Structure 1
């Protein structure tokens, strides 16, 4: 799918008009209800202006999407969630009660049939992390079906036709503000964002002095490492805490690098992204046993930090991940300073 500028991408309001007409014919009380039902607001979806009506049956993909809704107090607007098995159990979430209050829809990847069958009126996911040309579920396709959609701003930098580039933590704040506008909870969104900004500022003020520590994020992979570029939250987690992502100059989200580049960068800390069927301990053991990585400074010093999956993808738990990693770096700096 290549989004074409100028194309009418707003069939959503029109799809609601017949129902509105019926309500307006039903008397004065219904007229007030109708006004509530068709509350509209124009909000950006990546680089595109889209007119939204207040959703009532949202489907959210993965923890980051669900958490953004839950932290804004929007649980009543969520129909259910799609959670692939690589994700940590929702029972471990700070919003475990909210997950329990909505439906578990699938442990498959996001797909059009699921959304249609659920009679969803809103879908929250990322570009190429939920929405996918290959799997036939894109905002454009959902628009044609009269189903509203919202994309994580963090994933918008290469969205076809309507790209938008925002640094990962700023993208989190942007999403909360935009969702706040869509659902009419702007004040709540402002409070949450202000709290997050304060917590981030406190971390940055305490960052160790001196040159930033070179940090390698290890997601997975043996032949080639899968890692984090500049367009995902771990890049901000690393730099705000006082480190430097060895691949922070790569304009990508998650990508395959080379072991040669890792060795050349000589990382002093390795962040292990913890998810799926391979425990963090197994990833650490691989790095220790591989002759390519065994002599890396971080491996020699046993300087590993385990980052939870939902602290690494765009969502409110990014702030928790930052605070934990910052504490780890401060402790490490203190040890080296002795």
Structure 2
């Protein structure tokens, strides 16, 4: 296996702190073999990438790979990119559409690399899978967090480890392994700081409310909010569910008596509508979190796999530290 050329360029930080940051330009690299979920895949350094949703785009931007991104696809659930800490990077690449990822779009864009998640971008039903793209000569990369559901080559890691794994693997593909490791180290330092300052004693019970009225869509233990809640000092009431995003009955939520509700906020399902529902529904109106108005709004892009997981963690950790005991 050929090795990537080491990073020699200096790192240019365009945003300070633990969250969003943009690195310098990428040096040349040779072909490398890198895991795509559990499968070994040989990659040639891409030059014309298409990225689906902000998690994919932000990982590329955080590694300083904007010049290798041709364009992005951003469905309506995502908040406007103008509100992103990476807004300046989005402005440098093309907006390719606000629909779900599809094969025609990728082919029309003359992409040589596609970054997305399994089921959240790649899909058997919609006819765009890594295998199909392989047949078209188009390279692809899947978020490690989503490999839990990938039927052919599954892979299971904790959600934040999935973020670090993606940055490490993208760093190998694009020939910037040292830079990727520095970004990972910075993120891990931020996580360690949060853990060290988390409230001691009984962990608040936390319910992540994504959407739903007949049933609740929520977070199992295979998506970033589970780690956000855990590192901040709380406990996801569904941390025993070995799943990514999942549906549960309201009886299970009531039985758990959550102390805090985290509302996942995204475009077509605003947070306030969800809060109003929880306050008005007889099933949830008397939950401790609802009675005491303990709602924390988590931005969509802080809840899906991407660099903004760190921002979400720091924000929620601050909320728990300031919560009356």
Same fold (TM over 0.5): yes
3-state SS in 2 of match to 1:39:
coil
1:110 to 101, 110, 119: 101
Structure 1 runs of 4+ with >6 Å offset? none
Partner of 2:287: 296
Within 5 Å, which residues of 2 pair with 1:85-96? 85-96=76-87
Residues 1:278 and 2:269 are matched in the alignment = yes
Alpha-carbon offset, residue 261 of structure 1: 0.2
Q: Which aligned pairs between 1:184-333 and structure 2 lie closer than 5 A? A: 184-332=175-323
Instruction: Write the distance in 2 (CA, Å) between the matches of 1:179 and 1:86.
Output: 25
The alpha-carbon deviation at position 37 of structure 1 amounts to 8.4
CA–CA distance in 1 between the matches of 2:320 and 2:271?
A: 19
Determine the structure 2 residue equivalent to 1:56. 47
Equivalent of 1:170 in 154, 161, 172: 161
Q: Tell me whether 1:126 sits opposite 2:117 in the alignment.
A: yes
Q: Structure 2: how far apart are the matches of 1:66 and 1:158?
A: 21
Hey, what does 2:12 align to over in structure 1? none
For residues 20-59 of structure 1, the aligned pairs below 5 Å read 39-59=30-50
Please say if residues 70 and 95 of structure 1, whose CA atoms lie closer than 8 Å, have aligned partners that are also in contact: yes
| Residues 117 and 146 in structure 2, CA contact (< 8 A), matched pair in contact too | yes
Query: Is the Cα–Cα contact under 8 Å of residues 37 and 53 in structure 1 kept in the other structure?
Result: no
Larger radius of gyration between Structure 1 and Structure 2: 1
CA shift, 1:158, in A, is 2.3
CA distance in 2, matches of 1:63, 1:162: 24
**RMSD of aligned alpha carbons:** 1.1
Q: Structure 2, unaligned stretches of length 5 or more?
A: 1-26
Q: What secondary structure sits across from 1:131 in the alignment?
A: coil
Distance of aligned partners of 1:86 and 1:131 in 2 relative to their CA distance in 1, 3 Å threshold:
same
**1:291 partner SS:** coil
Q: Which stretch shifts more, 159-168 or 293-302?
A: 159-168
Tell me, in whole angstroms, the C-alpha distance in 2 between the residues paired with 1:213 and 1:325: 12
The answer for the alignment partner of 2:56 in structure 1 is 65
Whether the 8 Å contact between 2:145 and 2:157 is mirrored in structure 1 is yes
Whether contact under 8 Å (1:270, 1:303) holds in the other structure is: yes
Name the structure, 1 or 2, with higher relative contact order (CA <8 Å, separation 6+): 2
Query: Which protein has the bigger helix share?
Result: 1
Is residue 30–residue 175 contact of structure 2 (8 Å, CA) maintained in 1?
Answer: no
Give the CA deviation at 1:209: 0.7
Alignment partner, residue 30 of structure 1: none
Displacement of 1:78 in angstroms is: 0.2
How far off its partner does 1:211 sit? Answer: 2.0
Secondary structure in 1 aligned to 2:322?
A: helix
* 3-state SS of paired residue (1:59): strand
The SS at the match of 1:210 is coil
Question: How far apart, in 2, do the equivalents of 1:82 and 1:94 lie?
Answer: 17
Question: 1:259 offset after TM fit, Å?
Answer: 0.2
The equivalent of 2:173 in structure 1 is 182
Indicate how the Cα distance of structure 1 residues 38 and 116 shifts in structure 2: closer, same or farther if over 3 A, else same: farther
